[in-house]
């Protein structure tokens, strides 16, 4: 496996922007996407904040170019919009010119429509429109995107909770390095649903004030929705077609905490292992990392475990870090790709986007996140973390092209 994997395109839609430039703008001007629930019909509206994409499903259909068609879930529409942007930004005209795959990730799939179906169905098993449940499975949104973009060489979907879309980037990289595909559109999509909102609410890990990652007084996460995709290409294919290379995928790793189904271990074992694997693949030592886009959900448990793992790995030289979930909310299956796109913006513009809502350092840690926008930096290597239920921990290192 000697082939290098490049990133040549990015696309995103989330609570702070409907595309990459819009998202960058919000990040630079500290505009959060977290606010009162406005679209999702739930009892929790007005009680728990969320980071919704400020577009109705109808508006998303229009943006995706499928206005008036009723077969799309919100998850699929978000994915179609972001994936199309990534392919456009990569300057790809003929998707079939190279062996191209689509690897997506989601945790809720078509649940946004299933929950409506199920309520009618429970009242009477003969009721509920089947077209609202036929797209329930996680593969649906991926196939909608694949057909939308004309990708056919390999199409699959991952679901490993909140690390899902980093894992999509990992599989994509492995398939390119091993020569099975020349390029892959990889990422993830998740919409907010009552199912996930109530699920996290029963765990009592939703902060009523909006998430405050790495703050001593943090009280939970804030759910968000969105999609992000990256075009990964073998360096050979990218150079051959004269593509603009945005970043190199220089390392990645996945490890299992094997501690508890939902809680992270106090020693941050899984996080430590995932970051170590990524570093080892990249050939960098700990000092080579210029910035970490942490998982930083804002729950008591995650931030402590992740913080401990950072101190274990980097000792007293933990690189500058921040969680951008104060902007986007926690977009679950999309989070890894959302943060990979944000990390590439950091690489390109030499900026560290602030960890919003931070004021008091955690007493167990000697580190604190970057809480103000930093500009004019030279960032060569960025580590991005995404951790999920089932002890699933993933890290990826994105590097500036031409370095190393």
Asked if 159 is part of the footprint of other proteins (rule: CB under 8 A), the reply reads yes
**Smallest Cα–Cα separation from 95: which of 103, 81, 84, 105?**
84
Which of 16/192 has CB closer to other proteins?
A: 192
Smallest separation, CB 28 to other proteins (Å): 35
Q: Which residues partner with 14 through β-bridges?
A: 17, 226
Site for other proteins in 98-137 (CB under 8 A): 106-107, 109, 114-115, 118-119, 121-122, 125-126, 130, 133-134, 136-137
Segment near other proteins (CB under 8 A), from 15-23, 154-162, 288-296, 309-317?
154-162
Which of 7, 255, 271, 289 contacts other proteins by CB under 8 A? Answer: 255
Q: Which residues partner with 221 through β-bridges?
A: 206
Asked if 161 is part of the footprint of other proteins (rule: CB under 8 A), the reply reads yes
Asked if 44 is part of the footprint of other proteins (rule: CB under 8 A), the reply reads yes
**Cα–Cα distance, 58 to 51 (Å, whole number):** 18
Question: How many residues belong to the site for other proteins (CB under 8 A)?
Answer: 67
Site for other proteins in 266-305 (CB under 8 A): 269-270, 273
Smallest separation, CB 173 to other proteins (Å): 10
Which of 126/363 has CB closer to other proteins?
A: 126
**Cα–Cα distance, 241 to 91 (Å, whole number):** 10
Which of 1/67 has CB closer to other proteins?
A: 1
Smallest separation, CB 260 to other proteins (Å): 7
Instruction: Give the orientation angle of helix 20-28 with respect to helix 335-349, to 10 degrees.
Output: 70
Asked if 57 is part of the footprint of other proteins (rule: CB under 8 A), the reply reads no
| 3-state class (DSSP) for residue 95 | helix
The residue whose two tokens read 């430590």 is: 272
Which of 59, 216, 259, 301 contacts other proteins by CB under 8 A? Answer: 259
Which of 190/290 has CB closer to other proteins?
A: 190
Looking at residue 45, the DSSP 8-state letter turns out to be T
Annotated catalytic residues are 162, 295, 330
Q: Do 182 and 176 contact (CB within 8 A), yes or no?
A: yes
Asked if 223 is part of the footprint of other proteins (rule: CB under 8 A), the reply reads no
**Cα–Cα distance, 294 to 387 (Å, whole number):** 10
Asked if 258 is part of the footprint of other proteins (rule: CB under 8 A), the reply reads yes
Q: How many CB atoms lie under 10 A from the CB of residue 348? A: 14
In DSSP notation, 146-170 reads HHHHT--SEEEEE-BTBTHHHHHHH
Smallest separation, CB 292 to other proteins (Å): 21
**Cα–Cα distance, 38 to 75 (Å, whole number):** 17
Which of 180, 359, 366, 375 contacts other proteins by CB under 8 A? Answer: 180
Asked if 165 is part of the footprint of other proteins (rule: CB under 8 A), the reply reads no
**Cα–Cα distance, 71 to 34 (Å, whole number):** 29
Phi, psi of 395 (to 5 degrees): -135, 145
Which of 115/306 has CB closer to other proteins?
A: 115
Smallest separation, CB 65 to other proteins (Å): 20
Which of 183/194 has CB closer to other proteins?
A: 194
Q: How many CB atoms lie under 10 A from the CB of residue 102? A: 30
**Cα–Cα distance, 380 to 348 (Å, whole number):** 9
Phi, psi of 248 (to 5 degrees): -115, 135
Q: Which residues partner with 224 through β-bridges?
A: 51
Smallest separation, CB 242 to other proteins (Å): 29
**Smallest Cα–Cα separation from 396: which of 308, 243, 316, 289?**
289
Which of 8, 19, 157, 357 contacts other proteins by CB under 8 A? Answer: 157
Given the rule CB under 8 A, which residues bind other proteins?
Answer: 1, 42-44, 106-107, 109, 114-115, 118-119, 121-122, 125-126, 130, 133-134, 136-140, 142-143, 146-147, 152, 154-161, 167, 171, 174-175, 177-178, 180, 194-195, 198-199, 201-203, 254-262, 269-270, 273, 388-392
């Amino acid at each position: 496996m000697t082939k290098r994997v490049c990133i040549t395109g990015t696309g995103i839609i989330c609570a702070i922007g409907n595309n990459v430039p819009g998202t960058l703008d919000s990040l630079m001007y500290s505009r959060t996407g977290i606010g009162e629930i406005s679209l999702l019909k739930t009892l929790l509206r007005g009680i728990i904040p969320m980071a919704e994409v400020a577009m109705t499903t109808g508006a998303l259909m229009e943006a995706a170019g499928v206005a008036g068609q009723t077969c799309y879930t919100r998850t699929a529409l978000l994915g179609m919009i972001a994936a199309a942007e990534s392919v456009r930004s990569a300057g790809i005209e003929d998707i079939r010119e190279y062996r191209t795959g689509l690897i997506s990730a989601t945790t809720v799939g078509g649940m946004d429509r299933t929950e409506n179906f199920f309520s009618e169905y429970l009242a009477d098993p003969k009721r509920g429109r089947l077209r609202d449940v036929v797209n329930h499975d996680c593969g649906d949104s991926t196939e909608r995107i694949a057909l939308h973009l004309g990708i056919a060489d390999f199409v699959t979907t991952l679901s490993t909770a909140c690390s899902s879309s980093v894992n999509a980037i990992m599989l994509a990289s492995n398939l390119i390095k091993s020569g099975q595909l020349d390029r892959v559109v990889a990422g993830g999509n998740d919409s907010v649903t009552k199912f996930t909102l109530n699920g996290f609410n029963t765990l009592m890990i939703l902060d009523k004030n909006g998430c405050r990652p790495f703050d001593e007084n943090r009280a939970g996460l804030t759910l968000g929705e969105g999609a992000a995709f990256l075009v990964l290409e073998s360096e050979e294919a990218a150079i051959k077609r004269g593509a603009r290379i945005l970043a190199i995928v220089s390392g990645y790793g996945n490890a299992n905490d094997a501690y508890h189904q939902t809680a992270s271990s106090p020693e941050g074992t899984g996080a430590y292992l995932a970051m170590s694997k990524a570093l080892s693949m990249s050939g960098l030592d700990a000092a080579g990392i210029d910035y970490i886009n942490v998982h930083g959900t804002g729950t008591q448990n995650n931030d402590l475990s992740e913080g401990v793992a950072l101190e274990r790995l980097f000792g007293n030289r933990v690189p500058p870090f921040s969680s951008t979930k104060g902007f986007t909310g926690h977009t679950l299956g999309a989070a890894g790709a959302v943060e990979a796109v944000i990390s590439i913006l950091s690489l390109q513009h030499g900026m560290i986007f602030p960890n919003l809502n931070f004021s008091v350092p955690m007493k167990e840690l000697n580190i604190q996140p970057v809480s103000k926008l930093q500009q004019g930096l030279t960032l060569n290597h960025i580590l991005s973390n995404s951790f999920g239920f089932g002890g699933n921990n993933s890290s990826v290192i994105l590097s500036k092209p031409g370095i190393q």
